[in-house]
Amino acid sequence: MKKYTGKILLIAAAALLSLYFLWPTYRDYSLRKTLSTLHGQDSVQFVENHENDIKEYRAKRIKLGLDLQGGMRVVLEVDVLKLIEDLAKNRDDVFAQVMKEVREESRKTDTSPVLLLRKKFEARQIRMSRYYRNLRDTNDDIYKFLSDETTKAIDRGMEIVRNRVDQYGVSEPSIQKLGSNRIIVDLPGVTREAEVRTLLQGTALLEFKLLKEPEIMYRVMESIDKLLAASNVTDSTDTSATAAMPDSTGDTTKIATAEGEVSPEVFAKKHPFFSLAIVNAQQFPGEAVVAEENKEKVRRILDRDDVKRILPADMQLIWSAKGRVLGNGKRYFTLYPVKSTPELTGGVVTSAQATLDQSYNQPIVRMEMNSEGSHDWARITGANINKRIAIVLDNAVFSAPVVRNKITGGSSMIEGMDNIEEARLLEIVLKAGALPAPVEIVEQRSVGPSLGEDSIRSGIISSTLATVLTVLFMLVYYRSGGGVADIALIFCLLFVLAVLAAFQGTLTLPGIAGLILTLAVAVDANVLIYERIREELSLGKTIRAAIDAGYTKAFTAIFDSNVTTFITGVILFQFGSGPVQGFALTLMIGIVASLFCAMIISRVILNVMIEKYGARVSFG
């Protein structure tokens, strides 16, 4: 027994680790099961009480693919052709003809449209600088410029899509880049196609909106607060909200309401709105901040008809696109009170560039406008010095800089970003208005929840049945040896699921098929070993020697055959998409896990058994 202590400890550690990784999946399942038994007020109460648990376990559980939980996958492609057409100046008949040819040809080949364009122009001996950038630029420069713009367009597209999806309020959306010009958007639980289409495909709208005076905002918010306090129908939002009060803004209460110190609970009762939306004239002049966990509640309040009526007709409350982390380590979103009518729309922006300011080493964004825009911009900035103008993309505020002076000539400089990433984001946003990233939907899949449920059910039935049959067969055919293989098999399944959970893998329906196949592959390794052991036994070896020889001699065959399956798994993962990748993933994890289980776990168990029971261990 002692010789195997190391290995036994290793196995125990692996098993414990697996259980640790699978715990959130189990908790998530049981929480949801409890939730499904509750109704109405009880379920709301339950969600509020377990909010953090639900969030945490949800984030760490084994993710189910869209084919199992229902939802939509949309693949968007940046329309490079449209982009290069939009970027061209002095477009004429020749250009139109070239574009037409490029368009036709790009349908047939994989060559990038930019390269095709270049070839077409070079064949005609026309310098590309006739249509792009400066006349002095060489074709190489312009080729590089266009390729860069294509790359930037996809980033811009991603940002626009992310911004919209965030506002749409989907839980656990996933937005990924695919190849050089595609974006995959996964929206679990969403099936309203038409809505999502318009959401993702519409042209981005960039607006410059003036912030309302702080006093007006305070007055409006006070009315909302009073309304909520008076109408006792605040759907229990006020009961759990108190915990959200950040210490650093504890003085908020006095400024906003001119009241003395009160306990958070009492305050929340009296001021249901201000306990969620924090106003603080010193720290956040002219805006309100809301902790991330309260954002949904505030959104719900602002959606109420009676609350909407309080808002002046020319005033909107718009959320910041990104949250920021304040002193107490929590993330907060900002609510900006802005004038409903935009001062300018993004079409006037001709370029934007994030750089580091040479003299102060601060990140800044330079923005240029066309002549028409410059004219308006001078008037607007001149009339609103020391006021703030919000930069709004698709109804989310990305920045709200203060106007320092009248800007004539259309060239503005925006400063006050914390880091260069923030400046880059603003650059992307400003460009989105001027040069939209034209995207088209090239693939769209949606699975309704009932098909997902059916699939899960058949997945559970078939994997259970397959496990039972395999386990029984091994027991009957190989007796105690088979029993050991069965134990190793259970470990193997445990490991596969744990690895999936640990690496945030996604379980899809083909993935379940992969899991079932893993079962078969896992016992195969044991079959090869046991057949070998039987062979060695029939040569007259002792059981101990036969086991050793069996494991050693079967190893090369097991290893080689698993490598070949693994290779196909890798290739499949590379070429496949979505659910099929899920299959490849479980198959690969399964192969590694089954090797470990067959070569190490079953061997240790067998050796320990031999020490205890000697020749009574049977291989059938």
552 to 571, contacts with another protein by CB under 8 A? 553, 556-557, 560-569, 571
Q: Give the torsion sign (CA, 598, 599, 604, 610).
A: positive
> How many other CB atoms sit within 10 Å of the CB of residue 258?
7
Q: How far is the CB of 561 from another protein (least distance, A)?
A: 4
> Do 474 and 486 form a contact (C-beta atoms < 8 A)?
yes
Of positions 38, 96, 281, 461, contacts another protein by CB under 8 A: 461
Which of the residues 404 through 443 are near another protein (CB under 8 A)? 440-443
Q: How far is the CB of 528 from another protein (least distance, A)?
A: 6
SS3 call for 588: helix
Cβ neighbours for 483, distance < 8 A, ≥ 6 positions apart: 474, 475
Q: Give 384 or 444: the residue with its C-beta nearer to another protein.
A: 444
Q: How far is the CB of 441 from another protein (least distance, A)?
A: 8
Nearest to 589 by CA among 508, 511, 537, 490: 511
Q: Give 429 or 437: the residue with its C-beta nearer to another protein.
A: 437
- Site for another protein contains 587 (CB under 8 A): yes
Q: Quick one: tokens of 225?
A: 């607060």
- Site for another protein contains 325 (CB under 8 A): no
Residue corresponding to tokens 């996958």? 73
User: What letter would DSSP give residue 600?
Assistant: I
Written as one string, the DSSP assignment of 368-433 is: EE-HHHHHHHHHHHHHTTTSBEEEEETTEEEE-PBP-S---TTEEEE---SSHHHHHHHHHHHHHH
Of positions 197, 299, 339, 541, contacts another protein by CB under 8 A: 197
Which of the residues 177 through 196 are near another protein (CB under 8 A)? 191, 193-194
Q: How far is the CB of 29 from another protein (least distance, A)?
A: 21
- Site for another protein contains 476 (CB under 8 A): yes
Which of the residues 36 through 75 are near another protein (CB under 8 A)? 67, 75
Q: Give 374 or 508: the residue with its C-beta nearer to another protein.
A: 508
Point out which span in 38-46, 119-127, 372-380, 458-466 binds another protein (CB under 8 A).
458-466
Task: List C-alpha distances in Å: 178 to 175, 464, 581.
Answer: 10, 36, 14
Q: Give the torsion sign (CA, 171, 177, 178, 183).
A: positive
Of positions 35, 311, 378, 451, contacts another protein by CB under 8 A: 451
Of positions 80, 204, 527, 609, contacts another protein by CB under 8 A: 527
> Do 118 and 143 form a contact (C-beta atoms < 8 A)?
yes
Buried/exposed 356-381: b ≥16 CB within 10 Å, e otherwise? eeeeeebbbbbbbbeeebbeebbebb
Contact pattern from residue 145 through residue 184 relative to another protein, giving x for each residue in contact according to CB under 8 A and a dash for the rest: ----------------------------------------
- Site for another protein contains 473 (CB under 8 A): yes
Point out which span in 41-49, 141-149, 248-256, 466-474 binds another protein (CB under 8 A).
466-474
> Do 612 and 8 form a contact (C-beta atoms < 8 A)?
no
Q: How far is the CB of 178 from another protein (least distance, A)?
A: 11
- Site for another protein contains 103 (CB under 8 A): no
Nearest to 578 by CA among 514, 503, 513, 510: 510
509-538 vs 449-502: helix crossing angle, rounded to 10: 50
Which of the residues 346 through 405 are near another protein (CB under 8 A)? none
Q: How far is the CB of 170 from another protein (least distance, A)?
A: 18
